[in-house]
C-alpha cells in the first residue's frame, strides 16, 4: 500500500437482517464481504458508522461494548470460518474444542458441560462417538460441522457464515447449508452468508446483496435477484456462475465485463464499476448513484435505473 493512502474496505453500507433470516452477500474477492461480516460481529471496529444488535427489547451498539458487556455479547455474535482445517486445532480432542468455550463463559458443572456438548454434536448431525476423537482424525466435512457446533453452543442471535462450504465437496455442501437453514427457521438465528457462488446464495437465502469495491450495489429477494438482476455487475456474476439454472441465464442480457477491479487505494470517481461496465455513461464517471427501490424490496445503485 502506498504511504499515506487509505483503503475503504466497506464504504457507506447500510443493511438490516431480521430474526430467522439468511441474507447472502455475493461478490468477487476483495469486494469487502468478509470485512463487513467481521465488523458486524465486532471483530473489526468501524472507523465510522454503527453496528446495532436488537436482543430482546434491548438494542446494543456492538462497537461500543467493552469488558464484561463485550464478553456477554460474544455469546450472541458468532462466526463460521471458511477453512475447517485451520479454524479448529487438529491436535485437540473434539470434547476439548467444545468444552473450553463453555468454561470460558463461566459454565463449571461437568455434567452440564457434557450434556451441552452431546446435544450440540447431535444437532449438527455427528455421532456421539466422535466426541472422543482428535480433530486430525476427522474429514473436512466433519471438521466444519464441529466448527458450526462450537458456534451453536450459546444459541447465538446472529452468525456470520464466511464461505462455509467453499472448501467442501459438492456432496457435503448441501448438508452444511441445511444446518444453517434449519437453525434460521427453527431457532430464529439471523445469518449473514458470505459466498462467491450465486447458486449457494440462491439455495437458502431470503435476500441477496451484491458488493463491489466496498459498496452494496444491489439487494433484493433472492429469486428476483437471480431471475431479474438489475445491476450489470450482478448480471455478470450470474452469467459466470456455472451452477445457476441455464434457463434463467438465457433470460439475462449478456454483460461483457472488461478488465480487473482497480487497486483498493485507487477507487474511481462516480460509480466504482464504470471502468468495467459496457453500459457506462458520462454521469456514471462523475456521480455515484444512490440506492433506489425499483420494485418492492429490490434496490439497486445504478444510473440505468
Burial class (CB within 10 angstroms; exposed 0-12, middle 13-18, buried 19+) of 153: buried
Give 120's pLDDT tier (boundaries 50, 70, 90): very high
Q: Which of 60, 10, 66 is nearest to 38 (CA)?
A: 10
141/151 Cα distance (integer angstroms):
15
Q: Which of 28, 27, 44 is nearest to 36 (CA)?
A: 44
Hey, what domains does the chain have and what are their CATH numbers? Answer: 22-76+154-300 (3.40.50.300)
Is 301:218 a contact under the CB 8 Å cutoff?
Answer: yes
Give 3's pLDDT tier (boundaries 50, 70, 90): low
φ, ψ at 134 (rounded to 5°)? -80, 150
Q: Regarding predicted confidence, which is higher, 102 or 262?
A: 102
Over residues 40-93, the pLDDT tens digits come to: 999 988 888 899 998 777 888 888 888 888 888 888 999 999 998 999 999 999
Cβ-Cβ contacts under 8 Å for 207 (sequence gap 6 or more):
21, 23, 24, 219, 220, 221, 222, 225, 297
Q: Which of 66, 69, 131, 124 is nearest to 96 (CA)?
A: 131
**pLDDT greater than 70 at residue 245:** no
Q: Which of 89, 11, 18, 75 is nearest to 41 (CA)?
A: 75
Over residues 199-211, the pLDDT tens digits come to: 899 999 999 999 9
Q: Which of 273, 235, 267 is nearest to 254 (CA)?
A: 235
67-76, 140-149, 235-244, 253-262: the lowest-pLDDT one: 253-262
- Average pLDDT along the chain: 88
- DSSP E strands in the chain: the ranges are 22-26, 52-55, 58-61, 77-80, 158-162, 190-195, 207-212, 215-221, 292-295, 298-300
Amino acid at each position: 500500500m502506498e504511504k499515506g493512502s487509505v483503503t475503504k474496505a466497506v464504504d457507506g453500507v447500510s443493511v438490516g437482517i431480521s430474526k430467522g433470516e439468511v441474507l447472502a452477500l455475493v461478490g468477487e474477492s476483495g469486494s469487502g464481504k468478509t470485512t463487513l461480516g467481521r465488523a458486524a460481529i465486532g471483530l473489526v471496529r468501524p472507523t465510522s458508522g454503527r453496528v446495532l444488535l436488537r436482543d430482546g427489547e434491548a438494542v446494543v451498539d456492538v462497537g461500543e461494548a467493552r469488558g464484561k458487556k463485550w464478553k456477554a455479547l460474544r455469546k450472541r455474535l458468532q462466526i463460521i470460518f471458511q477453512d475447517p482445517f485451520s479454524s479448529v486445532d487438529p491436535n485437540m480432542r473434539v470434547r476439548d474444542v467444545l468444552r473450553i468455550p463453555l468454561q470460558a463463559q463461566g459454565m463449571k458443572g461437568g455434567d452440564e458441560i457434557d450434556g451441552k456438548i452431546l446435544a450440540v454434536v447431535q444437532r449438527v448431525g455427528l455421532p456421539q462417538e466422535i466426541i472422543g476423537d482428535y480433530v486430525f482424525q476427522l474429514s473436512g466435512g466433519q471438521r466444519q460441522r464441529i466448527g458450526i457446533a462450537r458456534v451453536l453452543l450459546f444459541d447465538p442471535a446472529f452468525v456470520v457464515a464466511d464461505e462455509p462450504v467453499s472448501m467442501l465437496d459438492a456432496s457435503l455442501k448441501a448438508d452444511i447449508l441445511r444446518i444453517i437453514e434449519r437453525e434460521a427457521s427453527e431457532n430464529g438465528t439471523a445469518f449473514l452468508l458470505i459466498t462467491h457462488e450465486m447458486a449457494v446464495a440462491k439455495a437458502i437465502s431470503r435476500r441477496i446483496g451484491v458488493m463491489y469495491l466496498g459498496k452494496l450495489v444491489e439487494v433484493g429477494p433472492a429469486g428476483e435477484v437471480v431471475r431479474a438482476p438489475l445491476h450489470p455487475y450482478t448480471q455478470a456474476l450470474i452469467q459466470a456462475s456455472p451452477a445457476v439454472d441455464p434457463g434463467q441465464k438465457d433470460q439475462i442480457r449478456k454483460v461483457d465485463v472488461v478488465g480487473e477491479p482497480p487497486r483498493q487505494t485507487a477507487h474511481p470517481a462516480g460509480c466504482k464499476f464504470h471502468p468495467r461496465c459496457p453500459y457506462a455513461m458520462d454521469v456514471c464517471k462523475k456521480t455515484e448513484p444512490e440506492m433506489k427501490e425499483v420494485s418492492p424490496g429490490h434496490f439497486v445503485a445504478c444510473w440505468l435505473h
